[in-house]
Every structure is written in C-alpha cells, then in structure tokens.
Amino acid sequence: MPGKRFFAKEHLEIDLEKYHSELTRPSIPKFEGNLYHWLLSTNWQSFFVSVVLVYLLSNLLFAAAYFFCGPGSVTNARPNSLVDLFFFSVQTMATIGYGQMIPVGFVPNTIVSFEAFFGIVFSALTTGLAFARFTRPTAGVRFSKTALIGLHDGTKVLRFRLGNLRSSNIVEAQLSLWLVLDRMNQEKDFYREIVQLPLDRNETPLFSFSWTAFHQLNEKSPLLGILDNPNQKNWHLLVTFTGYHESFANQVYARHVYLPSQIHHNANFMDLIKTTSDGSKRISMENFEKIKKL
C-alpha cells in the first residue's frame, strides 16, 4: 500500500473509514460493528439527524402497515388517510394514547403491539447513546497546524505546540512522537515502519495552558535522513497525547498528524507569554499559530 496514509489532515481526526476499507477482509461486511462507533464518534448534528430520520421512517412504515390493513382498521381515522395513520403511529410509539383513534381487529392490534415494543427499545437506545456521548471524555487539546524546524539553544530541532482548550488541568500528561513511513524489503513487498522519536520532555505533571515539544535533529534522529531526502514522500508524523483530566476524573486521549507539507523549515513560533504594562505576565493564545521566519 505505498503512498497511502490512513490518517486525515484534519485536526485531531484519523480517517478510520479509509483504514478499514484498506484492511478489512472482503468476506466481512464493511459496516458490521461500526454503527455503534459511528453513533458515538460523529458530531451532534449528524447524530440528531440520524435519530430523527429513523424516527420518521419507522413511523411512516408502521403507518403504511395500518394503511394496508384497509379502511376501518383504525377508528376515527379518515378513510385512506396516510396522514391520520402516521400520527396514530406517533401516538402509539410514544405510548400517548389520546383515545380518539383505536385499532380494530387482530392484525392492527398485532401491529400496535410490535410498534409499542419498538418504541420502548428505540427510546431506550436513543437515551443510552445520548448519555454515552455526553459522558464520553474528550481531551480538549489543540495542536498547532504546522510543525517547525529551527534552532533551540543552538541545536536544530523540530517543534510543535499543544494548547489546553479547557479551564481545568490535565495531570500526568504524556506525549509521544512517531515517524510513520513506507518501506520496501528485498522481496519488493511494501510494509509500514513506525519509529518513536524522542522528545526533550515527553511528560509533564500539570498541563494547564500550552506545551511546546522539541525533537532534536541530530545524527541519532531517524527523521534527519528523511528530511534531507526529497524523494522520500510517503511518510508522516503521528503525535499521541494521554493524560488524566481533573474535571472528568478519567483518562483522556488526543492525536494529530503532520504531513510533510505541514512541516516548515527555518521558522519558530511566536511567544505566547506577554508582559503587560504593570509588569505582570499573561498568555496570549492568539499567537498560538503565528510563526516567524529565522
């Protein structure tokens, strides 16, 4: 699989769909086992749209079932009125029961029984998924969009930034940097090599505001030869972050990917700490992405 990356460029996201499409065996359905993960990880807009669509479609299907039972299957419903039967389905699924429309006969009452059971299960699943989404901890960590190569204390380094987007602290935070590249062995088979790159400081007892990480580009760094080889393009940097969030009282994770095009040479980040007129210092997050050329 040369030249393919399973990690998306977007902030803090990994393209797992592309990953599974490349590695899943053809005999296994692609969507099997992914629906629950998708419902937990998708954004709130997609989640609510999916729930509403399932709700409307299921009510429409039950209304069609009552419709095919024939006129008179539901009392006080207008003959051949799918709209009345749809709202009767809504009342049945929600177990409202106003008493105006009543099913008549064995088949309509059987459908009502199935729909009442479906409504209980659907309500329980939707509530459980919403609760799981609310309680699922996220790190709230921002990564700089670019990684920079420049000097630090006279040494050539690669650096990138992290920012804590929340007011609470992350304790015992740990950071790892990995070089992911494609290789070819003697048998002309491609394989993926993952090498951990050492950082000057890979952990901090308290992550409150920002963290600038450094990797020294010396003769021991595997990245140095990659950067000096313009023909080597099938690689990227993967950053992983873990820590214990004080507010959630739980472990949190974050990750980010830097592609070769997102690594800038001879540059440095602008300082985040500013001195005010009264001599106090404050953190200026508007400089988080700003860089200066060396």
CATH of the domain at 50: 1.10.287.70
Residues 80, 86, 90, CA angle at the centre, nearest 5°? 150
pLDDT value at position 95?
84
Do 250 and 155 lie in one domain? The reply is yes
> Where is the domain boundary, 84, 117, 135?
135
Short-list 220, 227, 218, 234, CA closest to 264: 227
Is the residue at 240 inside a domain?
yes
Is the residue at 286 inside a domain?
yes
Is the residue at 42 inside a domain?
yes
Is the residue at 11 inside a domain?
no
Do 114 and 220 lie in one domain? The reply is no
Domain that holds residue 127: 35-135
Alpha carbons 6 and 15: distance in angstroms, whole number: 6
Do 116 and 224 lie in one domain? The reply is no
Alpha carbons 180 and 170: distance in angstroms, whole number: 27
**What's the number of domains the chain is made of?**
2
Alpha carbons 106 and 293: distance in angstroms, whole number: 80
Q: Is the pLDDT of residue 261 over 80?
A: yes
Lowest average pLDDT, out of 54-68, 122-136, 184-198, goes to: 184-198
Is the residue at 16 inside a domain?
no
Lowest average pLDDT, out of 8-12, 55-59, 143-147, goes to: 8-12
Task: Kindly report the pTM of this predicted structure.
Answer: 0.67
Average pLDDT over residues 224-231: 79
Alpha carbons 242 and 244: distance in angstroms, whole number: 7
> Under 8 Å CB-to-CB from 284, ≥6 apart: which residues?
272, 273, 274
Task: For residue 19, name the pLDDT band (cuts at 50, 70, 90).
Answer: very low
Do 189 and 228 lie in one domain? The reply is yes
Do 154 and 289 lie in one domain? The reply is yes
Per-residue pLDDT tens over the stretch 115-151: 999 999 999 999 999 998 888 777 789 999 999 999 8
Helices (H), the chain: 16-23, 35-41, 44-68, 82-93, 106-135, 222-227
Short-list 146, 142, 141, CA closest to 237: 146
> Under 8 Å CB-to-CB from 256, ≥6 apart: which residues?
11, 12, 143, 238, 239
> Where is the domain boundary, 105, 135, 165?
135
Do 156 and 122 lie in one domain? The reply is no
Average pLDDT over residues 182-188: 80
Do residues 64 and 89 touch, judged by C-beta distance below 8 A?
no
Cβ neighbours around 292 below 10 Å, total: 12
Is the residue at 5 inside a domain?
no
Cβ neighbours around 155 below 10 Å, total: 12
pLDDT value at position 33?
54
> Where is the domain boundary, 135, 163, 181?
135
